[in-house]
Amino acid sequence: MKYNDYISVAIDGPSGAGKSTQAKRIAKEFGFIYADTGAIYRSLGLACYRQNVNCKDEVAVMAVLRDISIDLKYNTEGEQRMYLNGEDISAEIRLPEISICASDVSAHAMVREYLLKMQRDIADRNNIVMDGRDIGTVVLPEADIKIFLTASAEARAKRRLLELQANGIESDFDSVLEDMKYRDAQDSSRAAAPLKPAEDAVIVDTTDLDFEASFEVLFELITEVIKENS
Ligand code: DC
């Protein structure tokens, strides 16, 4: 049963598949709120990193999580900002070392359970496009449409490198590809809510599609769902 009258679009897929860029565009086009759930795990990863806590140690990570406040807010432009104990950490959580910590902390079942409500609460109050790894399978199993966005690891690493460079973060293709493969393997093989398409997800492979062509595919899919719901 659906929880509310709002439309929810779930986008899952591996890192670098273009989920956030596509989701932002969808949000703008349809007037939805965009929720980036990876940013929540990144915020916890940053908190552990700053405290020198081993991100693979579930008990230690939970102690950090219970002791901090992570807030997700929207600024006047509708852009999502992340706060750790009141400090805006939206830029810092994008650093490559924090990506690895985020993947490590997100593998813990207790962490995922703890952060579930926060994610569901956002979808409960808004028309939403939410991206992550388990949105269609766990967070919003009743989403109106579930999209699994993917692309080859090489194509994703290339895009991620450009994104990092655009944000002034230095890196190189080989280390981005290596990080990506590490995260792919860990995010897909963990026992707790592993990255996998929901049974009723539409799989969109963007390896050979540019941004506009990918967006068109998603636009058509979502327009169809909105028509069905109106
Ligand atoms: O989407 P991202 O790269 O910002 O996510 C960072 C990490 O968080 C990623 O390696 C996997 C994890 N994650 C998750 O396990 N579940 C989500 N819904 C979103 C992200």
Residue 187 CA, ligand 1 centroid: distance in Å: 8
pLDDT at 2: 58
pLDDT tens digits for the chain (230 residues)?
A: 455 689 999 999 998 899 999 999 999 999 999 999 999 999 999 999 999 999 999 999 999 999 999 999 999 988 999 999 999 999 999 998 999 999 999 999 999 999 999 999 989 988 999 999 999 999 999 999 999 999 999 999 999 999 889 989 889 999 999 999 998 998 899 899 899 999 999 999 999 999 999 999 999 999 998 888 87
Question: pTM, whole model, 2 decimals?
Answer: 0.91
Residue by residue, what is the 3-state secondary structure of the chain? CCCCCCCEEEEECCCCCCHHHHHHHHHHHHCCEEEECHHHHHHHHHHHHHCCCCCCCHHHHHHHHHHCCEEEEECCCCCEEEEECCEECCCHHHCHHHHHHHHHHHCCHHHHHHHHHHHHHHHHCCCEEEEECCHHHHHCCCCCEEEEEECCHHHHHHHHHHHHHHCCCCCCHHHHHHHHHHHHHHHHHCCCCCCCCCCCCEEEECCCCCHHHHHHHHHHHHHHHHHHHC
Q: Which domains does the chain have, with CATH numbers?
A: 8-229 (3.40.50.300)
Nearest CA to ligand 1 atom 9: 103
Nearest CA to ligand 1 atom 1: 38
pLDDT at 1: 46
From 11, 21, 41, give the residue whose CB has the most ligand 1 atoms within 8 Å, as the site to mutate. Answer: 41
Nearest CA to ligand 1 atom 20: 38
Ligand 1 site, residue 15, Cβ cutoff 6 A: yes
Ligand 1 site, residue 133, Cβ cutoff 6 A: yes
